[in-house]
């Protein structure tokens, strides 16, 4: 990857006692890549609420003004347009002159940037929702990914120094002055360690953590209000999940842990690369990791690769995504083209691992079967598995949802040109049906779709019109075969062996007690007219206890014996 800017040499002296180096001035005609980041400072919740309402109101006014000004002359002469123009004219005077001249998508992006990290993250999520938003908006929101306002280099260097708690020149020989990337939460610069290793330094921007916490409180309050009017869409739950994921990303130690877990999970695949973490130089607000020297898939040089190399990259991407989602149940949850790199080889590299999604075992297996049925054209079972994932309430209509999803899948699989269709769009269309039937899908499902959206977008960039089902089918088949391999089943059996041995050891005593209960239950009834009632009650209790143990995966000899005894006692008749 081409690196811009000049390096700042660290002199062999303490930085703390010397003036901080500053970047070289830009070359003539060279435009600055990043705007200057401004520390938001300490804002209370009321002030933050006022700022949010101000930007939302300005966006509505500015966007409406641009819409009116863009109407044909004949449309602008209509009474409704004239009235709207008269009402908006005074309000427009209070809107930033520079912004009100921009198109609505640009105004939306700039307002989200000014509102800060939380809203930038919301914009990033919206940039993927082409099924809901016009392409002009999603394309503009795509600029939120890695070209956000950046700290001036002296301030960046100061934050590195504060977090290292030692002179910078003892650790790094050079730090490049121009940022490699600047996102909503962190800023990245390329550096060289004193030992000669090329690394990247990522720092959390000042004021970001505090702002995220305030915005989380504000958004959760908005979620409670929206829940009263839009309960079927579960806005309170969606916002709470979004805030939780965003707050986790502020602690860079989580990203370090994630990178090491991914590297361990893919240790057998050297062509799928994750950056090495330098723990001695990393903490909550500073992360030092290996620099992966590659190009992004959107780079023009990616299209210059040979056909065989591009096909290999798509196959590696499919393998990585499928294994993350359906084998490990631990996947990159902030995947977009800026977080993917094409490395020499070619190899596939993943960066920016601060946000990950996790599936529990049941959800992972159900999604695996759903995905396999989907790409295999089994519409009925695909609809069944997707319905099993959904969470509902007493008013949910699972049967209607299953019927509609099956119809969508049949229409998709019945098309003779699957490579012209979007697998991610099919999943999004199916999931979107849930709101109509009062069904809700976990946040991990949305993050899974995001990963597939990115894979499809990158695949079509490298090889327009590639067949996503053909590429994925082989890898998901390997995962399923490994799932049911004798070796894996043997390991799982060994895991349950202690419980099985314990149950077998207790079996003789349990059988003896059970036989005694059966013998008593089959004896002639006593003269007491309530004896039959007692037997029925006791038998019912045994059956309930057995059902509870079965529901919690208790030792099968125990709950089976309880169910049998309970059934016999319940069938016994009193006098």
Over residues 257-274, the pLDDT tens digits come to 999 999 999 999 999 999
Q: Which is higher by pLDDT, 429 or 517?
A: 429
Beta-carbon contacts of 91 under 8 Å, excluding residues fewer than 6 positions away, are 61
Stretch 211-224: mean pLDDT, rounded?
A: 83
Whether a cis peptide bond, with omega within 30° of 0, leads into 346 is yes
- Of the CA atoms within 13 Å of residue 274, those in its CB half-sphere come to 24
pLDDT at 549 over 60: no
Instruction: State mean pLDDT over 170-192.
Output: 90
pLDDT above 90 covers a percentage of the chain that reads 26
Residues 23-33 have a mean pLDDT of 42
Residue with tokens 């989907």, as numbered in its chain: 374
Q: How confident is the model at residue 136 (pLDDT cuts 50, 70, 90)?
A: confident
Lowest mean pLDDT, pick from 129-138, 224-233, 359-368, 565-574:
565-574
Task: Report residue 223's pLDDT band, with 50, 70 and 90 as the boundaries.
Answer: confident
Q: What average pLDDT score do residues 82-94 get?
A: 77
452 vs 498: CA distance, rounded Å:
40
Q: What is the mean pLDDT of the chain?
A: 78
Q: Tens of pLDDT along 308-349?
A: 999 999 999 999 999 999 999 999 988 878 789 999 989 999
What residue ranges do the domains of the chain occupy?
45-143, 301-495, 506-571
Tokens of 560: 């089976």
pLDDT confidence of residue 418: 47
Query: Of 37-46, 289-298, 484-493, 550-559, where does the model show the most confidence?
Result: 289-298
Quote the strand ranges of 126-277, DSSP E: 172-176, 181-182, 186-193, 198-204, 272-273
To the nearest 10 degrees (0 to 180), the angle between helices 45-69 and 208-229 is 70
pLDDT at 22 over 60: no
Average pLDDT over residues 366-371: 91
Quickly state the pLDDT bin for 23 (edges 50, 70, 90): very low
Which of the two residues, 452 and 547, has the higher pLDDT score? Answer: 452
Which pLDDT belongs to residue 553?
Answer: 52
Q: Is residue 443 over pLDDT 50?
A: yes
Concatenating the DSSP letter of every residue in 49-113 gives HHHHHHHHHHHHHHHHHHHHHTS-HHHHTSHHHHHHHHHHHHHHTTS-HHHHTS-HHHHHHHHHH
Q: What is the mean pLDDT of residues 523-536?
A: 53
Q: What is the pLDDT of residue 506?
A: 65
Q: Assess contact for 535 and 574: CB atoms under 8 A.
A: yes
């Amino acid at each position: 990857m081409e690196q811009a800017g000049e390096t700042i040499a660290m002199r062999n002296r303490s930085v703390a006692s010397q003036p901080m180096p500053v970047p070289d001035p830009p070359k003539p005609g060279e435009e600055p890549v990043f705007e200057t980041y401004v520390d938001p400072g300490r804002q209370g919740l009321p002030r933050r609420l006022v700022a949010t309402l101000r930007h939302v109101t300005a966006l509505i006014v500015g966007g409406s003004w641009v819409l009116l000004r863009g109407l044909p002359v004949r449309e602008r002469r209509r009474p409704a347009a004239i009235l709207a123009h008269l009402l908006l004219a005074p309000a427009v005077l209070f809107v930033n002159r520079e912004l009100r001249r921009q198109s609505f998508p640009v105004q939306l992006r700039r307002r989200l940037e000014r509102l800060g990290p939380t809203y930038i993250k919301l914009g990033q999520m919206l940039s993927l929702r082409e099924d809901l938003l016009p392409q002009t908006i999603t394309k503009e929101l795509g600029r939120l990914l890695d070209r956000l306002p950046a700290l001036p280099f002296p301030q960046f260097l100061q934050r590195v120094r504060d977090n290292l708690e030692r002179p910078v020149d003892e650790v790094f020989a050079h730090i490049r002055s121009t940022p490699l990337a600047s996102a909503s939460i962190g800023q990245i610069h390329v550096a060289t360690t004193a030992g000669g290793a090329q690394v990247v330094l990522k720092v959390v921007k000042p004021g970001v953590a505090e702002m995220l916490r305030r915005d989380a409180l504000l958004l959760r309050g908005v979620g409670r209000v929206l829940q009263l009017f839009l309960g079927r869409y579960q806005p309170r739950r969606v916002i709470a999940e979004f805030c939780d994921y965003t707050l986790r990303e502020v602690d860079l130690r989580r990203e370090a842990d994630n990178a090491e877990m991914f590297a361990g999970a893919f240790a057998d695949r050297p062509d799928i690369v994750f950056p090495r973490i330098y723990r001695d130089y990393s903490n909550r607000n500073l992360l030092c990791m290996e620099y992966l020297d590659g190009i992004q898939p959107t780079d023009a040089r990616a299209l210059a690769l040979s056909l065989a190399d591009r096909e290999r990259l798509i196959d590696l991407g499919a393998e990585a995504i499928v294994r993350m989602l359906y084998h490990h149940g631990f996947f990159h949850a902030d995947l977009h083209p800026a977080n993917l790199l094409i490395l020499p080889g070619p190899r596939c590299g993943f960066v920016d691992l601060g946000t990950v999604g996790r599936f529990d075992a049941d959800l992972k297996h159900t999604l695996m079967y759903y995905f396999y049925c989907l790409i295999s054209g089994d519409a009925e079972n695909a609809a069944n598995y997707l319905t099993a994932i959904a969470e509902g309430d007493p008013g949910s209509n699972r049967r209607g949802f299953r019927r509609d999803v099956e119809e969508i899948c049949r229409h998709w699989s019945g098309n003779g040109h699957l490579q012209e269709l979007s697998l991610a769009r099919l999943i999004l269309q199916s999931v979107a049906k849930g709101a109509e039937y009062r069904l809700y899908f976990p946040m991990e499902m949305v993050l899974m779709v995001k990963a597939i959206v990115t894979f499809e977008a990158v695949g079509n960039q490298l090889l327009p019109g590639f067949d996503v089902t053909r590429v994925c089918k082989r890898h998901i088949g390997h995962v399923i075969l490994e799932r049911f391999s004798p070796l894996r089943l043997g390991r799982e059996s060994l895991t349950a062996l202690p419980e099985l041995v314990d149950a077998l050891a207790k079996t003789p005593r349990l059988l003896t007690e059970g036989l005694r209960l059966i013998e008593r239950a089959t004896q002639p009834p006593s003269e007491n007219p309530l004896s039959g009632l007692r037997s029925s009650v006791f038998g019912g209790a045994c059956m309930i206890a057995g059902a509870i143990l079965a529901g919690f995966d208790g030792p099968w000899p125990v709950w089976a014996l309880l169910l049998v005894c309970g059934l016999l006692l319940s069938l016994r008749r009193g006098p």
